[in-house]
Amino acid sequence: MQIWEIQGWIEPLLLGVVAVGGLGGLAALLIALPRARRETQRLLDAQATPTPESTVSIPRGRASAEAHIARGPESAARVAPSPASALPTPAKPTPTPTPDIRSGLRRSRSALWGRLEDLFSRRNTLDASTLSEIEEILFAADLGVKTADDLLEAAKQAGSTDAVHAALEARALEILSGVSTPPEADVSGPKIVLIVGVNGSGKTTSIGKLAARHIAAGKNVLLAAADTFRAAAIDQLGIWAERVNAEIVKGSPGGDPAAVAFDAVKAAQSRDVDVVLIDTAGRLQTQGNLMDELGKIARTVKKLVPDAPHEVLLVLDGNTGQNAIRQAQEFSRQVDVTGIVLSKLDGTAKGGVVLGIAQEVGIPVRFVGVGEGVEDLIDFEPGAFVRALFDRDGHGAPEYA
């Protein structure tokens, strides 16, 4: 029964009292009013109490974090420690089609090997004019000057147009293999991962994808919304947290990102959290103050975990081509970048920049993003990458062990 329905039948009752003007009507009113009041109160109570369905998708830990936000700006990021049993059960992985590097590199492949293949269909001698066209194609592929030169030299050494394909593949693989990926850090408490990069490079999306992976592997994940620069950024991470069933610690817009990171790590230590992924605001490598802020975040989490952050992942937008090399160099000056996530490979012809990053920056590419979906993150594997970049579309590309 709704409130207006009750009000609807009180009115005729009062009219009845006036009309009859008798004691009977008055007695009826005296009986009906307390009942109506009780019913109204019951309905109001029911409206004020959320139904169980309205909170069912939010992990209990997250609900507790949000309750803290409601208390005010200072306590906004603080999450009361709660027993490990309060953590959400990690979501079971649902089988999804595996994204593959070959389709992710479709445009990059046609900009590099596709053009070379086209050239060799017209020319079969490796003379000066052919080499000059090879040079042009290599430079246009946004590999970075050093790498384009290096591959041109490999093409020259190949001796014949037929041998160029194998020579380029072999050299590209050598370049990538020259960068060693450090073994997984041996971490006793929660593993702290800081995610950095310029505006819109794909940080928050990559965090969502990484969180989903860890959760699928049975880990408890906590996201830290240390991008306090834009209110929408906090909400965006909140949506990802809900989507992948991770916990989240949020700060208030305009708050201190280092304080949010601190509180998140503290919360992770007191709960059974395996991985903390810290989202940060996008910043240009030329913005000195904002770059300093990254150093502050890293120093602040060290107060709780001296060897943290265990990983600093720099997210680079594949569309930026050679500019990604510059970004990687600048960010490494500020924080100790341990790995690169190259996002948006699916929409770019500049994926070859991975080679330039390896050769000029020496930081391992750990993951590549090939779409906006939760599963669109691929572990970077040099052999598979080179094979996909130089694939002859099924015409006998050599296999790497």
Ligand X SMILES: Nc1nc2c(ncn2[C@@H]2O[C@H](COP(=O)(O)OP(=O)(O)OP(=O)(O)O)[C@@H](O)[C@H]2O)c(=O)[nH]1
Sites of contact with ligand X (CB under 6 A): 197, 199-205, 227, 233, 282, 315, 343-344, 346-347, 369-372, 376
Contact 338, 305 (CB under 8 A): no
Cβ-based nearer residue to ligand X, 197 or 309: 197
Phi-psi map region of 94: left, alpha, beta (phi>0 left; psi -120 to 50 alpha)? beta
Q: Using CA atoms, how far apart are residues 89 and 181, in angstroms rounded to an integer?
A: 31
H helices, E strands: number in the chain: 16, 8
- By CB atoms closer than 10 A (0-12, 13-18, 19+), residue 243 is middle
Interacting positions 205-244 with Mg ion (CB under 5 A): 233
Residue 203 C-beta: closest distance to Mg ion, Å:
5
Distance, CA of 112 to CA of 313 (rounded, Å): 27
Q: 255 vs 282, which CB is nearer to ligand X?
A: 282
Judged by beta carbon, residue 201 or residue 245, the one nearer ligand X is 201
Residue 129 contact partner, candidates Mg ion, ligand X, none, CB within 5 to 8 A by sort of partner:
none
343 lies in the site for Mg ion, by CB under 5 A:
no
Residue 249 CA from chain centroid, whole number: 15
Contacts (CB under 5 A) with Mg ion, residues 125-184: none
Q: What is the DSSP letter of 370?
A: -
Q: What phi and psi, each to the nearest 5 degrees, are found at residue 18?
A: -65, -45
Q: How far is the CB of 167 from ligand X (least distance, A)?
A: 31
State which residue, 113 or 229, has the beta carbon closest to Mg ion. Answer: 229
Closer by beta carbon to ligand X, 225 or else 258: 225
The yes or no reply on residue 204 touching Mg ion (CB under 5 A) is: yes
Residue number, nearest CB to Mg ion: 204
- Tell the residue number behind the tokens 């201190």, with chain if given: 256
Contact partner at residue 398 from Mg ion, ligand X, none, CB < 5 to 8 Å by partner kind = none
Q: Which does 199 bind (CB under 5 to 8 A by kind): ligand X, Mg ion, none?
A: ligand X
371 binds, among Mg ion, ligand X, none (CB under 5 to 8 A by kind): ligand X
Q: For ligand X, give the closer residue by CB, 203 or 310.
A: 203
Distances in Å between the alpha carbon of 377 and those of 105, 210, 233, 324? 13, 8, 21, 18
Rg (CA), the chain: 30
201 forms part of the interface with Mg ion (CB under 5 A): no
Residues that bind Mg ion (CB under 5 A): 203-204, 233
